[in-house]
Structure formats: structure tokens, C-alpha cells
């Protein structure tokens, strides 16, 4: 699935079409592009979410990622933390698709990532289905 398609689905999941959704829609599109870039590099097969969370955990963001997957309040993450955790080439590719700098892309991803992961892991664990299937189920 192309990053733009994934971004559109994430935007719908995160309320990109609702009032105030422009910012989350833009961030969701960049997150979709990032996940598409990770998927194209073999990061997690049809569900690159696990690979992204693994990278964030290795970068020292275990508490944050666990708060997004598990119940309770989602802890925030910064653009700097995203930049440290995500492969440079994948972030650059996502930024290029969105027409923004890698720094802007990381900042926008940081804004939508906690909510996106929270919605994509409704049972407290990263599902094994494809990311597209997970998002479509959530939109029902």
C-alpha cells in the first residue's frame, strides 16, 4: 500500500476530516508516508507499526510506547525523539512526499503518533494483521 493511501486512512482514523483535523490530517499523512517508507524497506512486512515501535523502544522511549499501546493516558513524544528513533532515509522519504523538511515531518509525526498507535492497538498489543486491515476495522 502506498504511503499516501496509508496516510489518508490514518487521517480518517484520527479525525482528519473533522473540525480542527487539518493539523492531524497533515501529520497522519506524514506518518502514513513514514510507515510506507518503513514497509518498503522491509520493516515489519505489511504492518510496519511493530518495527516503528521497536525503533522507538530502542531509542529509549519504552515508557511512551507502552503508554500508547496499553490502557491509560498517552505520554507525549517530541520531534527530536522521533528523529533519533526513525531511520534518516525513511524520515527523509516521508518528508519529501509531504513537501516539508525532515524536522517538520518529525514534529508533525510526534503530534499524531501517540493517538495513532493508541487507536491501532485497541487490545493492548500490536495486531498481526496488515496495517491497512487494522485501520479499516477501526473505521467501521
pLDDT in tens, 98-113: 899 999 999 999 999 9
Angle, CA of 76, 77 and 83, to the nearest 5°: 170
For residue 20, give the 3-state DSSP assignment.
coil
- CA Rg, the chain, in Å? 13
Of the candidate ranges 11-15, 25-29, 134-138, the one whose mean pLDDT is the lowest: 11-15
pLDDT in the model for residue 128: 75
For residues 111-140, average pLDDT: 78
Q: Which three cell numbers stand for residue 112?
A: 499524531
Q: Which three cell numbers stand for residue 80?
A: 527530536
More confident site: 4 or 74: 74
On whether the CB atoms of residues 112 and 24 are closer than 8 A, the answer is yes
pLDDT tens, position by position, 62-85? 999 999 998 889 999 999 999 999
Count CB atoms within 10 A of the CB of residue 8: 18
DSSP single-letter state for residue 43? S
Amino acid at each position: 500500500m502506498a504511503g499516501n493511501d496509508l496516510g489518508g486512512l490514518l487521517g480518517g482514523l484520527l479525525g482528519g476530516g473533522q473540525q480542527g483535523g487539518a493539523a492531524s490530517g497533515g501529520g497522519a499523512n506524514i506518518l502514513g508516508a513514514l510507515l510506507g517508507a518503513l514497509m518498503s524497506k522491509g520493516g515489519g512486512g505489511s504492518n510496519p507499526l511493530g518495527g516503528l515501535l521497536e525503533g522507538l523502544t530502542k531509542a529509549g522511549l519504552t515508557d511512551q510506547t507502552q503508554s500508547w499501546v496499553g490502557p491509560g493516558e498517552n505520554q507525549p513524544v517530541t520531534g527530536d525523539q522521533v528523529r533519533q528513533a526513525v531511520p534518516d532515509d525513511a524520515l527523509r522519504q516521508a518528508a519529501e512526499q509531504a513537501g516539508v523538511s525532515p524536522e517538520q515531518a518529525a514534529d508533525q509525526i510526534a503530534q499524531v503518533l501517540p493517538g495513532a498507535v493508541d487507536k491501532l492497538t485497541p487490545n493492548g498489543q500490536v495486531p498481526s494483521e496488515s496495517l491497512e486491515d487494522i485501520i479499516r476495522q477501526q473505521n467501521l
